[in-house]
Structure 1
């Protein structure tokens, strides 16, 4: 600071006075300010995070990236080759090792997750049907957990967006909804009790609307009623009844963070890779 002060004095108008009229100025010593937390303290605090921890976080993100890259171009598992499935399983286990042994955080689990890959046969059958049948299309598949304020239980909904070309809107023509209750039975396992299968949110295509109520004619009360009935139609089929126990199974949540969910259906039911999605229902 003293060096800076002398430099600034030499360039001020005082330096333009005649030598004889110059006076000797003595600057008071300026006390160094007292910082409760100096910049060096802040730097020390920033570097207080163990290097090993930072490296572990970077390694985890790299492994998650490699896992998502491995499932790219497999059509959510439908076209995965044996070699690809082997590589995916290896990458999946690598990510799972970072979260092993931690209890399930239901607050973190709550929300909507988009399916990126699966080896579950019941889901692959749907994807195969959409790939081979010209009148059936599958868009997004989600899993929605509702358990934010719960500690041992909640509700999960498996959501499949599907459509029929020319009859229903593309991507969001209709919704297949499979609802289940779940309860936490161990540190990482939840038990699912399926309750209902429903078809809802039917959105008919513009071509079908024009067929039911042509644009060149005024829409009658009957045609409007038909359109409204289709849009509000909801078919529900209960999975359980009072005479029999509901269908269920164990679901192992092998990894969970803010943007990725990995699960395994216990008993050889397949693996699931999800990423966080925006709320849609």
Structure 2
């Protein structure tokens, strides 16, 4: 699809948004809006098979996420949003790279509930930040399995009050390998499914 290729071309080389100039951001938002008009999944929240899985972030304008790159001596690595649609759970995982053997990660676990055909209410309930080696982090599925078993990590690991840590996300485009979402604070997210 031409509109999808246009968006992928617009975000190429922008390091998930870290290197995007203001004119890049404008062009990217325009390409996103044009692709959203051709969403092949009109009720994305109901398309559990498409939603389910691990998604890698290609682009965002979220300063909260991109701000992780400001740690001294560290850079933002891969960012994943792992959706377990049947249980209504989301795991956001940001890998932090830099000093050898001291790679880090930041993760937030949440529950989600459909409130319309394209919107989910998200309630964050657990936060983990620490060194990948101390957490024994290797890849998202292994980490999620450990969270699901209620493992406590040798890291900053605490429960969040769901009532105070919540937001919503509109899924505005969904196909077999791309998802676009818009958050309650004006953030946009373009993700690709990890096979």
TM-score by length of 1: 0.58
Whether the 8 Å CA contact 2:40–2:175 is kept in 1: the answer is: no
Aligned match of 1:186: 116
Q: Displacement of 1:200 after TM fit?
A: 5.6
Q: Which structure is higher in helix share?
A: 1
Residue number among 127, 135, 159 corresponding to 2:93 in the alignment: 159
Alpha-carbon distance between aligned partners in 1 of 2:131 and 2:23, rounded to the nearest angstrom: 39
Aligned match of 1:265: 183
Residue number among 141, 144, 147 corresponding to 2:82 in the alignment: 144
Bigger RCO of structures 1 and 2 (CA < 8 A, at least 6 apart): 2
Whether the 8 Å CA contact 2:179–2:191 is kept in 1: the answer is: yes
Residue number among 9, 33, 41 corresponding to 1:93 in the alignment: 33
Local SS of the residue matching 1:108: helix
1:236 aligns with 2:172: no
Whether the 8 Å CA contact 2:173–2:179 is kept in 1: the answer is: yes
Aligned match of 1:22: none
Q: Which structure is higher in strand share?
A: 2
For the pair shown, which has the larger CA radius of gyration, 1 or 2?
1
1:124 aligns with 2:57: no
Local SS of the residue matching 2:81: strand
Pairwise CA RMSD of aligned residues? 2.0
Structure 2 unaligned residues grouped into runs of 5+: 135-152
Local SS of the residue matching 1:142: strand
Structure 1 unaligned residues grouped into runs of 5+: 1-60, 205-231
Residue number among 41, 48, 52 corresponding to 1:110 in the alignment: 52
Whether the 8 Å CA contact 2:41–2:173 is kept in 1: the answer is: no
Aligned match of 2:127: 197
